[in-house]
Amino acid sequence: MSHATERIPVVVGVGDVVSGSAGTSADPVEPLDLVLRAVEAAIADTGVSTLTAHIDAIHAVRTTSWNYEDLPALVADRLGVEASRRSTSSIGGHHPARLMDQVGHDIAEGLTTAALVIGSETQASVRALTKSGTNPADIGWRTAPGGPPTFSPDDLGSAEMQRAAILAPVQIYPLFDTARAHRLGVRPTESLRASAELYSRFSSVAAQHPVAWSPVERTPDSISTVDSTNRAVSDCYPLAMNAMPFVDQAAAVLVCSLAAARDAGVPDDRIVYLWGGAGASDTPDLLARSTFDHSPALREAVRTTLSAAGVTGADLTVVDAYSCFPVVPMLLIDELGLSPDSTPTVLGGHSFFGGPLSSYSLHAVAESTRLLRTARGSGSPAVAMVHANGGYLTHQHTILLSTAAHEDGYIGNPDAVALSTDPVSVVHGYDGSAVIETATVMFGRDGAPDQALIVARTPAGERVAGHAGADVAAALHAATTESDTSVVGLEIDVIDHDGTLTVTMNRTDKDVPL
């Protein structure tokens, strides 16, 4: 075995676990305890007992439901290994793929022999304890330091986003959906139907997954129709198309060098090759980006990953798209050139498999590994892509796994490329005409339009962004539904009052102040 071959990174063990399910309560479980179950499953999945002693690195996707100063150290202590290379990511759904790439790089460089990548969320347990008035620390959860995690300023949105009150994922992803649909010439009802059909297919996958939080197959109509159990959240997405973060799920992936796997006697049918991938990041300031109709960072990550491997979207046997909202897998479908009728998930998406916050895509790595193992012997090597998304389509990372080693060994790069574009300026106090670039309507619990979020361009090309109240929301919603036409491109007169917008829609010539 050559020096380079010895250091080829391979996945040899995967484990993922769930405690409880949608509508079924379970005893509250601490994230550490749940991830230890996943680690135990991953080690058992290798088929050998000797690899544990060689684990010299543990990398954790940050847990959001409970705060740990050093989760990898707690896991290392439980396993009885030193694991001198340890890290915990920041919050972000891209980190599972990035950490897998980092581990692949470290193994290829001879810095690591065997590594665990772990992730765990028990937000369902935290929610249940909070509702009962119980402090998790009082029932024995570790307080090192415990409690909720701290957030970086980027996690809370830019100053411009805060001024415009465009901050939450349920607000932001519909803005991308609206812009993408308009770019493709898709009417609002057609876009909603496409999202519902996609998520119906996703639910079919979740219904077969033993770790899914909501393993129930749903029809497109049950997903798109607003009713008492599926309330309107935004004009693009009723509740069934929104991520479900209140889950108790954990995953662990064990990666080592090919030499270590061979020395430990890992059976060939357990070994899946980690080719590597690429990442890209857009500016965290959503309102400074060049466009809402696609994701430049996603495009860069996908194209770089495929180019480095010398493959195309058509060569992929397995694809898992991050899927907090339908627009994200749809954008990946666009970039890979897949059929609109494809089902790019191995899990079932955040709405049905469950959305364990930043660690979702680690579950996708685990399941993709299992699927590749079963794809052996089908002729040419099978290749899987796992796509991971962080922020608001801000951080993108994709990795490739395969049943065979790449001819160049590890071909990835864990360091994301920061995209450089001229930021679009946001004008304050604007009073004049503008054209809607994208917009969405948010609904209250009563099912009525409650708030409009509008991003528009002035004749000079500057942006006006902000929020307006129920009257404007109702008027925008009517403008969309009455003619089944996107509001993108609609000319308005707007007055900006520190992010609160007074809007006149020239279509009706009716001034509708907040």
Q: What is the pLDDT of residues 465-492, one digit of tens each?
A: 999 999 999 999 999 999 999 999 999 9
Query: Does residue 507 register a pLDDT over 70?
Result: no
pLDDT tens column, 251-296:
999 999 999 999 999 999 999 999 999 999 999 999 999 999 999 9
Residue spans of the domains in the chain: they are 3-133+244-418, 431-512
CATH architecture of 431-512: Beta Barrel (2.40)
Query: Does residue 514 register a pLDDT over 50?
Result: no
pLDDT at position 154, please? 65
Phi, psi of 85 (to 5 degrees): -95, 105
- Provide mean pLDDT across the span 431-458: 98
CB environment 405-423: b (16+ within 10 A), e (fewer): bbeebbbbbbebeebeeee
pLDDT at position 307, please? 98
Q: 417: which residues sit within 8 A by CB, 6+ positions away? A: 278, 279, 280, 281, 300, 304
Of 19-28, 87-96, 197-206, 287-296, the range with the lowest mean pLDDT is 19-28
DSSP letter at 72 equals: H
Write out the two tokens for 181.
Answer: 């649909």
> pLDDT-derived band of residue 513, with 50, 70 and 90 as boundaries?
very low
Q: How do the residues of the chain divide into helix, strand and coil, expressed in percent and rounded to 5?
A: 35, 25, 40
Measured at the alpha carbon of residue 331, what is the angle toward residues 330 and 332, in degrees to the nearest 5? 90
CATH topology of domain 3-133+244-418: Peroxisomal Thiolase; Chain A, domain 1 (3.40.47)
For residue 340, count CB atoms less than 10 angstroms from its CB and return exposed for 0-12, middle for 13-18, buried for 19 or more.
exposed
C-alpha dist (Å) from residue 159 to 153, 177, 392, 431, 439? 9, 23, 15, 21, 19
Query: Does residue 230 register a pLDDT over 80?
Result: yes
If one compares 379 and 196, the residue with the highest pLDDT of the two is: 196
C-alpha dist (Å) from residue 40 to 174, 253, 287, 479, 496? 39, 10, 44, 55, 56
Judge if 3-133+244-418 and 431-512 fold alike in CATH terms.
Answer: no
Distance CA 456, CA 425 (A): 12
Query: Does residue 353 register a pLDDT over 50?
Result: yes
pLDDT tens column, 149-159:
777 766 778 99
> pLDDT-derived band of residue 508, with 50, 70 and 90 as boundaries?
very low
Query: Does residue 383 register a pLDDT over 60?
Result: yes
Write out the two tokens for 14.
Answer: 């995967």
pLDDT at position 491, please? 96
Scan for tokens 């916050």, then name that residue: 357
Query: Does residue 2 register a pLDDT over 80?
Result: no
Write out the two tokens for 378.
Answer: 């089908």
pLDDT at position 509, please? 38
**Which amino acid does the sequence have at 292?**
F
Distance CA 369, CA 364 (A): 8
Q: 102: which residues sit within 8 A by CB, 6+ positions away? A: 59, 414
Query: Does residue 512 register a pLDDT over 50?
Result: no
Average pLDDT in the chain: 95
pLDDT tens column, 104-156:
999 999 999 999 999 999 999 999 999 999 999 999 999 888 888 777 766 77
Return the H-helix or E-strand segment holding 514. none
pLDDT at position 510, please? 36
Count the Cβ atoms, other than its own, within 10 Å of residue 152: 10
Write out the two tokens for 322.
Answer: 């991050």
The C-alpha torsion from 408 through 410 and 414 to 420, rounded to 10°, is 10
pLDDT at position 5, please? 77
Write out the two tokens for 337.
Answer: 């050139």
For the packed helices 296-309 and 327-336, what is the interaxial angle rounded to 10 degrees? 40
For residue 155, count CB atoms less than 10 angstroms from its CB and return exposed for 0-12, middle for 13-18, buried for 19 or more.
middle
**DSSP for 276-330, written as a single string:** EEEEEE--S-GGGSS-SSS-HHHHHHHHHHHHHHT--GGG-SEEE---SSTHHHH
Give the highest mean pLDDT range of 1-15, 17-31, 164-178. 164-178
- Sign of the dihedral through C-alpha 461, 466, 471, 475: positive
Distance CA 91, CA 101 (A): 17
